[in-house]
Amino acid sequence: MDVVLDDRLLIEELLVGLDRRGAQLHTTSYWYYRACRAAVAGAGGHLSGPFRDLPHGEQQRAIASILQLPEEIGLPRPRHVVPIMVTVADRHPRLNVLNLEAIATALWLRATVWLSPEGASGMLPDVLGAEELAWETIMPS
């Protein structure tokens, strides 16, 4: 089973690991960027909190590790995802780029989307449903 992780769950996977349930994990470029930005900038929000809570030495190792996405986490190429984003935007013109990329990635991979509680509280679940894509809310530890 292919799964697309949102930014918060990507951070969880990279720092402590998720119960993969046998799934092949993927993310999007935008979610990966947001995870890296949170790690480096550390503004204190829900994305940077896991980094802020680590002792300094561990924090530096965690930041360095997130900046090199492990090969076992898929990151689909824009050449495949962007054309799908365009067609999704025609069906859902109010979506922002982050959500368009998430939907297009899930469509490209025929994947389930795993959302953190924060991600599940927005408009993405409704659009995933409209696109007949499976999704789940996953609680980080």
Closest CA to 29 of 86, 72, 73, 63: 73
CA pair distance 126, 122, nearest whole angstrom:
8
Q: Which domains does the chain have, with CATH numbers?
A: 2-137 (3.40.50.1010)
How many CA atoms lie less than 13 Å away from 67 in the CB half-sphere? 11
**Crossing angle for the helix pair 97-109 and 78-91, to the nearest 10 degrees:** 110
* Cα–Cα dist 107/116, whole Å: 19
Question: Is pLDDT of 127 > 80?
Answer: yes
pLDDT at 114: 98
What percentage of the chain carries pLDDT values higher than 70? 91
What is the spatial distance between Cα 72 and Cα 77, in angstroms, rounded to a whole number? Answer: 15
Per-residue pLDDT, 63: 75
What value does the mean pLDDT take over residues 51-63?
71
pLDDT in tens, 8-49: 999 889 888 899 889 999 999 999 998 888 877 765 555 656
Q: Quote the pLDDT of residue 89.
A: 98
The position carrying tokens 């909190």 is 49
- pTM here is 0.88
Distance CA 27, CA 102 (A): 8
